[in-house]
Structure 1
Amino acid sequence: MTNILYIQASPRPEAKSTAIADAYIAALREQDPNIAVDVLDLAAERLPEFDGNKVAAKMAVIGDQDQNARQKTAWDEIISIAQRFIAADQYVLAVPMWNGGIPYRLKQYIDVIHQPGLLWTLDATTGYHGLLKNKSAVLALTSGAWGPSMPSPAFGIDHHSTYLKAWLNQAGVDIIREIRFQPTIINSDPEGSFKAAVAEAQELAMGIGVY
């Protein structure tokens, strides 16, 4: 059975990024009703602060040092949260652009799970190596003013898709597909553009399934 982790980054139930990702998931389920979809609603999820104990625990792992009791407790919490991410075969991320980047709850989640020995290793000579294997991702991306055809920086800068792809690549996910509804506000035909993005999501699901 294929396991999908569906990460919803917007706190708005009516978010267009979520609607586009929903269309993708629904099309996948039409092909295979047995697909397991784990929905991670970041607005409702309890995420721990990445505090001093967690930073110290991370640095102990990087330095191959023993963790003290508080650091070990913090690291165990990180592992328990990261395992949900690691267990998935495919990631579906519904992410609106916030101030050129990603919503803060998604950044918090990434800061918690993106850890040495869990998602990546670092070699002093060759650099970072992702530990995730045979996984893919689909990004449902929206933004109000910025779009691939809009002049930048006048209408914004894309620290949104670029950050997400760089993060996933560093973790070892190298098959990443994008579905864009951008821009959503400065758009001569927002309804038509949204419908086109939904159709693209459905076609993508029909074409690639979960692979």
Structure 2
Amino acid sequence: LLYILASPRGESSQSNLLAEAFIEEKRASDSELVVSTLDLWKADLPEFDGDKAAAKMTFFGVGDMDDGLKTEWTRIEEIAAQFMDADHIVFAVPMWNGGVPYKLKQYIDIITQPGLLFGFSPEQGYFGLLENKKASVFYTSGVFFPGAEAKYGSDFHSTYVSWWLNMIGISNIESVCLQPSLVTSDPEQDFQSALSKAKNLAL
């Protein structure tokens, strides 16, 4: 199991707390479960700069993969390998400005590469290369909630993550949403309800 933290708020993050409660229940029921944690705010994530983009484009027939680009591509493969090797990926994802935190978007842009997570052909379009994997995603937002008026924001958050997971081949997806967490009459009760859902999901 790979646990990916997209929130920098540690124990103050409700998405982190929900994901970690889920993982603890999984650990309790499976003594052989191996859990790796990737804190995106502490990870050494490279910029997806011009050389890495050039290496990617060689898969689409643009340019050649010379020694310099091979070095850049090897770094991408190393980061993607941890994700590709996991059977189960757990995400803690707060909503930032209607979308995902930029560190998660950076990570997605690094690992979502042709020949690694997806393939492409003019006939098929994009198709996922990952098989037999599961994702559990714990979403939180401070103000937005499904069906809310436009003044409370829009959801490019769960919709984006779901689209991306499907695009790379992960269709076994479960989620818990704590939306909203600030503007209801009893935020603590809302959190406890989401916490119960997270624990039950693990069972």
- What is the TM-score normalised by the length of structure 1? 0.93
**What is the one-letter code of the residue matched to 2:192?**
K
The residue that corresponds to 1:114 in the other structure is 112
The residue that corresponds to 2:7 in the other structure is 10
C-alpha separation between the residues in 2 aligned to 1:63 and 1:172?
24
- Quote how far apart the aligned CAs of 1:64 are: 7.4
C-alpha separation between the residues in 2 aligned to 1:155 and 1:112?
31
Match among 180, 184, 208 for residue 177 of structure 2: 180
- What runs of 5+ residues in structure 2 fail to find an aligned partner? none
**What is the one-letter code of the residue matched to 1:9?**
A
**What is the one-letter code of the residue matched to 1:30?**
A
**What is the one-letter code of the residue matched to 1:80?**
E
Match among 44, 47, 50 for residue 46 of structure 1: 44
1:43-67 per-residue CA deviation (whole Å, 9 max, x = no partner) reads 1111000000000000002227630
C-alpha separation between the residues in 1 aligned to 2:148 and 2:186?
15
- Quote how far apart the aligned CAs of 1:179 are: 0.3
C-alpha separation between the residues in 1 aligned to 2:147 and 2:2?
30
The residue that corresponds to 1:24 in the other structure is 22
C-alpha separation between the residues in 2 aligned to 1:124 and 1:65?
19
Taking only the aligned residue pairs, the percentage that are identical comes to: 48
- Quote how far apart the aligned CAs of 1:117 are: 0.1
Please list every run of at least 4 consecutive aligned residues from structure 1 whose deviation after the TM superposition is greater than 3 angstroms: none
- Quote how far apart the aligned CAs of 1:70 are: 1.6
Paired residues, what number?
202
1:79-110 per-residue CA deviation (whole Å, 9 max, x = no partner) reads 00000000000110000000000000000000
1:113-137 per-residue CA deviation (whole Å, 9 max, x = no partner) reads 0000000000101211100000010
CA RMSD of aligned residues (A): 1.0
**What is the one-letter code of the residue matched to 2:177?**
R
- What runs of 5+ residues in structure 1 fail to find an aligned partner? 207-211
The residue that corresponds to 1:195 in the other structure is 192
- What is the TM-score normalised by the length of structure 2? 0.97
Q: Is it true that 1:124 corresponds to 2:129 in the alignment?
A: no
The residue that corresponds to 2:97 in the other structure is 99
